[in-house]
Amino acid sequence: MKKVLVIDDTSEIRMIIDETLNMLGFFTLMAEDGETGIEMAKQQLPDLIICDVNMPKLDGFGTLARL
């Protein structure tokens, strides 16, 4: 099963993406900000990362640069 990490600061968006990907057979990991997402990516090694651009603390571009 493919792992997808979703990084988004909006819980409703994370929930919608989670439900949709689960229905399609993907295992999802959820992170509420870029810092948490980076740590999860290092530990879980997802096959795909879906990341919001506009987030507090560390935005999507900063997250991408650090990954």
Q: What is the pLDDT of residue 63?
A: 96
Please tell me the distance from the alpha carbon of residue 50 to that of residue 66, in angstroms, as a whole number: 15
Question: Which residues have C-beta within 8 Å of that of residue 20, sequence separation ≥ 6?
Answer: none
pLDDT tens sequence across 53-67: 999 889 999 999 999
Q: What is the pLDDT of residue 50?
A: 98
Q: What is the pLDDT of residue 61?
A: 96
Global confidence as pTM: 0.93
pLDDT tens sequence across 18-54: 999 999 999 999 999 999 999 999 999 999 999 999 9
Question: Which residues have C-beta within 8 Å of that of residue 62, sequence separation ≥ 6?
Answer: 34
